[in-house]
Structure 1
Amino acid sequence: MTAEGGGAPAPAVPPAPAPTEPPRPRGPGVRGLEIAVPAYVWANDAMLTDLTATAPAPSVVVLNPGNGDAPFDARWRSRADALRGATTATGEKTKVLGYVHTDHGNRDLAAVKASVDNYLKTPDGRLHVDGIFFDVVSRECGPDNATRDHYAELRRYVEDSMQAVDPAAPDLVVDNPGTAIADCYLEPGHRTADVFVTFEDTYAAYTGAGWLGGNVFDPLTGYRAGTELDPTGTAFWHLVHGVPDAAAMRAALRTAFERGAGYAYATSATMPNPWNTGPAWEHRAQTGYAATLG
C-alpha cells in the first residue's frame, strides 16, 4: 500500500495457478461482507469527512499520518474519535486502525514498536484507535517459522499495549501481505493477526490471472480458500483498485464475498496511490450494497 505521498514496493506475486477449490457458501451465523477502507489522506481531507458522515458507515477505516510515523496529534485523535462514533450496517461502531509499515519483516523491531506506540500511547492516556494495520507484510513463514513468529510478537505487543491502557478494550490487528498468506500465519496458538489482506491489486487482475486461487497457501499443496481457518468469515480482506464503474464495484464485492473475504473495498482510483482519494461513487453505495451480501 502507499501512504500520503509515498509508498513501499508490493510483495512479489508468483504466476497464478489454477484454483484448487471453488468458493464455498457461508455457514449459519457467519457474517456477510463488510467494507474496510484504507484512507491515506490528511486528518481533515474530504475523504475522511465523507467517511465520517457515511451511513451505513464502513466497518473499518485505516488512518495513515505520514506513513505511520507522523505524530498522532489532537487533530488525528479527533478524527479517529468521530469515525468511531459512526454505526455500521451490522449495528456496531466503526473500528479505526493505525497504519504501521514493516518492510516484509525486515524493519527493525524496535522501530515498528515505536510506530505502534505512536497510536496506542497518546499524551492523554486514552485509546483513540481499535488496533493496528501492519503493511508490507511478508507472506512467507521463514526458516523455522521465524518470520511468522516476528509478526506474532508484534500482535502480542499490540494486545499488551492496548490492555495496559484499557483492559476491557478489544483489539483488532491486520496483516497486509497483499496476496495469499502462508497458512502458518493462521496456525492456532501462533496466529499473527485477526484479519489478513490477501488481495491488493487492480480490477483487471482480480477478474483475471492476478487471483491466485485462494486466500492461503501451503508450499506443498498450493492455494485454497482457507475457510477452515476462518470460522467467523472475517479473516480475509480484498482491496481492488482501478474499478471502472459502479456496476464493476458491485461485481468486485460479490466476487470478494464468493472468494471468502469478510472485508473488501473497491475504488475507481488508480496507481500510484489509489488510497489517497475516494471512489467515483459515494461510499454509501458500497457500504449499502455490501450489507445485502451474505
Structure 2
Amino acid sequence: MTDGFEVLYRGTLFLIVLFFLTKLLGKKQISQLTFFEYVTGITIGSIAAEVIMGLENNIWHGILGTSIFAVLPFLIGLFSLHSKKVRDFVDGTSTVLIKDGKVLEGNLKKEKYTLDELLQLLRGKNIFELAEVEYAVLEADGKLSVLPKKDYRQVTRKDLGLESINEKEPHMVIMAGKIMDKPLLEIGKDEDWLNTELEKRGTTLDKVFIGQVDSYGSLTIDLYNDEIQDSTPQDRPLLLANIKKCQADLELFALATDSPSAKALYEKNAEKLASSMEKLTPYLKC
C-alpha cells in the first residue's frame, strides 16, 4: 500500500473511531472543557495525528491508546455524577471574584487573573463599570457569571406589575419548501391550515424557504426571494382593535339609553369586556 493510501486509510479509520468515542463522552466534551477534559482532548488528538501520519506503525496500538483516553474520562464522569468530592477535584470549583460590589484581590491572584482581564470579562457581559456589579463568580469552565446591582438590572414584567406570559418554543413547519410533518402535528395543525395561511400572504409552499409558528400560533415565513417582503396579516392587532371598539360601543349604549335595566346590562358587559381585554392585551399586541 502506497504512503498516500496508507494515510487515507488511517485517517478514515480514525475519523470513525474518534466520532464514536466523542459520542461516548457526550455533548459536554464539545460544549465546555474542564482541566481533565482539556488534557484528554489534546492527548487523543496527538495520538490520532501520529498514527494517521504513520509515526506509529501499529494502528491498533493507536486505537487502543485513544480508547483508553476516552473510556477513563467516561468512567470518571460517571463517578462525578454521584460524588461531589470527585466532581470538585476533576472539574474544579467556582471562585468568587466580586462580592457585595468589592473585588476580592486574593481570589483574583489565586486564579492568576489581572484586573484588566477581569474588566475584559465584565465588558463581555456589557458591564463597563465595577460599580454596577453586586456579585461575580468565575466558573469552573472559565466563564464569568455576573449579578448586577438592582439599579442596573433589566426591568421585568414582574417589576412593572404586569401579568406573566407563558410562552412555548417556536416550531419550524416549513424548511426549504418542504412541510415538516412532526412539528406541524405537535402544534395541532395540519397542511390545510398551513396552505390557508400561505394563501393569506399571497404565496405558495415552493416559494417559502423557512416557515415558523410562534407560541401564539402565528405563522412567520421567509421567502426565497430576498426582495419580496412577507405580508404578515395583522390578525391579533385587528382582533384587539375590534374588542376595544365593542367595549367602547357598550359604554356609549349605556350612556345613550334611558332604560335603567338596559343601562345596567350594557355597563356590566362593558366591564366584563374591559377585564377580558386587559388580560388579552399582552397576547394580542405585536
TM-score, normalization: structure 2?
Answer: 0.18
Q: Structure 1 or 2: larger strand share?
A: 1
State the structure with bigger RCO (CA 8 A, min sep 6), 1 or 2.
1
Rg comparison, structure with higher value = 2
Q: Structure 1 or 2: larger helix share?
A: 2
